[in-house]
Amino acid sequence: MTDPHDVLFIMDPPETFNPRADSTFVMITEALRRGRRPFGTNLSGLGMHGQEALARVAPVALVDGDPPRLVYAEPPRPRALAEFAAVLMRKDPPVDQAYVTATWILDHAGTLVLNAPQGLRTLNEKLSILRFGELVPKTFISRDTSELREILERLGGRMIVKPVYGFGGREILLARSDDPNLGSLLELATAEGTRWTVAQEYLPAAAEGDKRILLVEGEPIGAVLRVPARGELRNNFHAGGRPEASPLTDRDRAICSAVGPMLREAGQFFVGIDVIGGHLTEINVTSPTGMQEINRLQGLSGGDTMQARFWDALEARLLAGAA
């Protein structure tokens, strides 16, 4: 039987969370604040008995301190996913064989799963932007180094290359036609022609940062500008980028209005899109972050925080499902 208070987070180990940066951390603490009982598991804890999806789960507790931390309060035990009011897929990438298998298991959860597993499989974070051609920079996909050289010339001698399954700013490279190491760079980017690579128009505005916009139910709830560290190409917080306040512009809202209906249709409840110079560059559906940075920059607390708005929408969804 489903317990309306119990929610399950599929996530990395709680001791790995940065209590001042991770969005999953504040999602869980907000659940506790609202009187819900959060449980956690990881990918290896998932399984199936016949048609029933199960997981080895443990309750998550908040330990006071400076900083506070989350821990598993008890040893894990098996429970059916259908016993939880909601299952929140918050496992960080990579999207690999284990991740995709987990989404197949979640297809059998028998309860609300967010983000929806079908959408997690379908919406590659680098390629799904191509559904919105008028909003995105010139983008190509190839694993042929000769073709990538041709694309580079077409793009004026500078382009960004990044792996289709990349995450957290890893392996993002700037290719230049005048670089004597260009051949080696393209060989590395494509793993010597065995891996598809995204080749994307270089946007000079990237030097000023890229904007992470958080959407819930396809509607924007907040944004933060990620500014690269000195001498660094990448803007990601994992790569040393710093957060700066950044209000939503009319162009940002137009992008959200275009992308939002697709996200809702695909069951992608919580999403982070990246915008550089008014261009949509990524649609992050796996485990987007940015909540805590927005809270601090905007001085948000209580019911105005990003995690509170997340839970307001989730509880509305649960209430509608129970009606």
Can 226 be counted among the known catalytic residues?
yes
The domain ranges of the chain are: 3-114, 138-202, 205-302
Can 212 be counted among the known catalytic residues?
yes
Which residue is catalytic, options 226, 236, 295, 309?
226
Which residue is catalytic, options 91, 211, 212, 309?
212
Rounded distance between C-alpha atoms, residue 164 and residue 175, angstroms: 16
Which residue is catalytic, options 115, 235, 284, 295?
284
Estimate the crossing angle of helix 306-322 against helix 291-298, to 10 degrees.
120
Residues 6+ apart with CB under 8 A from 28: 9, 14, 38, 40, 60, 62, 70
Task: Tell me if 236 sits within 8 A of 289, measured CB to CB.
Answer: no
E strands present in 123-176: 139-142, 158-163, 173-176
CA 7 to chain centre: 20
pLDDT value of residue 263:
98
Can 282 be counted among the known catalytic residues?
yes
Q: Does domain 3-114 have CATH number 3.30.930.10?
A: no
Q: Does domain 205-302 have CATH number 3.30.470.20?
A: yes
Which residue is catalytic, options 22, 125, 210, 282?
282
Q: Are strands 242-245 and 270-276 parallel, antiparallel or unpaired?
A: unpaired
Token pair for 307: 């995690």
3-state secondary structure of 265: helix
Rounded distance between C-alpha atoms, residue 109 and residue 94, angstroms: 22
Can 162 be counted among the known catalytic residues?
yes
Which residue is catalytic, options 162, 201, 211, 293?
162
Can 274 be counted among the known catalytic residues?
yes
pLDDT value of residue 133:
87
3-state secondary structure of 302: helix
Q: Does domain 138-202 have CATH number 3.30.1490.20?
A: yes
Task: Tell me if 112 sits within 8 A of 87, measured CB to CB.
Answer: yes
pLDDT value of residue 80:
98
pLDDT in tens, the chain (323 residues): 677 899 999 999 999 999 999 999 999 999 999 999 999 999 999 999 999 999 999 999 999 999 999 999 999 999 999 999 999 999 999 899 999 999 999 999 999 999 999 999 999 999 999 999 889 999 999 999 999 999 999 999 999 999 888 777 778 899 999 999 999 999 999 999 999 999 999 999 988 899 999 999 999 999 999 987 775 565 665 556 789 999 999 999 999 999 999 999 999 999 999 999 999 999 999 999 999 999 999 999 999 999 999 999 999 999 887 64
Which residue is catalytic, options 234, 235, 236, 252?
234
pLDDT value of residue 295:
97
Which residue is catalytic, options 22, 201, 274, 293?
274
Which residue is catalytic, options 36, 90, 91, 126?
126
pTM score of the predicted model = 0.93
DSSP H/E element including 215: strand 210-216
The residue behind tokens 């659940």 is 31
pLDDT value of residue 259:
98
In a 13 Å sphere around the CA of 139, the CA atoms on its Cβ side amount to 22
Angle in degrees, CA 120, 98, 165, rounded to 5: 55
Backbone angles phi, psi at 104, to 5 degrees: -65, -40
Enumerate the H helices of the chain as residue ranges.
23-33, 97-106, 117-122, 145-154, 182-189, 250-265, 291-298, 306-322
